Each structure stands twice: as C-alpha cells, then as structure tokens.
Amino acid sequence: MKVNGKCHCGGIAYEAIVDPQRVAICHCTDCQALTGSAYRVSVPAASESFHLRRGSPAIYVKTGDSGAGRAQAFCPTCGSPLYTYAADADVVTYGLRVGCIEERRELPPKKQKWCNSALDWSMDIAQLPRRDRE
C-alpha cells in the first residue's frame, strides 16, 4: 500500500510502500517517552520504497537496553516524530509513525509488543465518555 506522510507543520513530507498487516503498537517505556503518549503505532517500510519528498528531519539516536542505537527522525520545526531506523544497520527498514500518515485510518494495528510496560488504563478505553469534537 502506498502511503503519504508529513509532519504537523508540513515542512517534511515522504511517501513509502507499507504492508498494512505489519502495523504494530509498542508499549515500551522508550516509545511512551518519545511519543509523549501511552504507546506508539508504527508500520515498517523498506528503504527502497521510502522517499523523502520535502524537508530534512533532525535525528536523535537512542541507545536501547540491548546497546543498539535507534535513530529517531523528527521535524526540527514542529517536533513531530516521523520514523525510526536502526542507526548501525547495513539494511535500513524505516518504522513509520502511523499518526503522520495520511492514510492512517486504513492502518489498524495487528499486534502489540512490550505489553509488560503497558499502562494498565491504556488497554481498555472503550467505556470512557466520548465526544465527537471539543
């Protein structure tokens, strides 16, 4: 599936090909801190299918518990997290942040990982009061 992504301010834009069956939620504490939310949702894209169309992201490399470096790309103007990749890998696979993808409604998660770090309240929000707008 071809997707189009951009940051909140529109300064950075990209396109890529993704497999909708590979969308995942990650509950790890790094993803919580990096997104400022309870979890992050991403979908992988092979490097040959990813094309930056506008702008140049800032890169922050986070060293994980395994010792591996994980590059985090974000907009230097608005701060939107855009994608991630293994900083020291020979073959790059981009982990696109689904919230930045225009076609995000067509990319429901298919699995969850790092559930031992999940915030208990994030696992069932169906019964919370809802408003269509505010």
CATH of the domain at 6: 2.170.150.70
Any domain includes 133: no
Average pLDDT score over residue span 1-17: 98
> Has residue 125 been placed in a domain?
no
Burial 17-45 (b: 16+ CB within 10 A, else e): ebeeeebbbbbbebbbebbeeebbbbbbb
Q: Is 114 left (phi over 0), alpha (psi -120 to 50) or beta?
A: left
Please check whether residue 130 lies inside any domain of the structure.
no
Our count of domains for the chain comes to 1
Q: Report angle CA 58, 63, 66 to the nearest 5 degrees.
A: 145
Residues in CB range of 2: below 8 A, 6 or more apart: 15, 16, 17
57 in any annotated domain: yes
Task: Report whether 81 contacts 35 (CB < 8 A).
Answer: yes
Residue 13's DSSP bridge partners are 6, 54
- Amino acid letter, 55: G
132 belongs to a structural domain: no
User: What's the pLDDT tens digit per position in 82-124?
Assistant: 999 999 888 789 999 999 999 999 999 999 999 999 999 988 8
Q: What range does the domain containing 62 cover? A: 2-120
Helix, strand or coil, per DSSP, at residue 96: strand
Residue 81 lies in a domain: yes
Read off the pLDDT of residues 40-84 as tens digits, 9 standing for 90 and up: 999 999 999 999 999 999 999 988 777 889 999 999 999 999 999
Residues 15-37: what's their mean pLDDT? 94
- State pTM to two decimals: 0.90
Any domain includes 103: yes
Q: What is the pLDDT of residue 90?
A: 80
Domain membership of residue 126 (yes or no) is no
Using alpha carbons, select from 69, 48, 54 the residue that is nearest to residue 100. Answer: 54
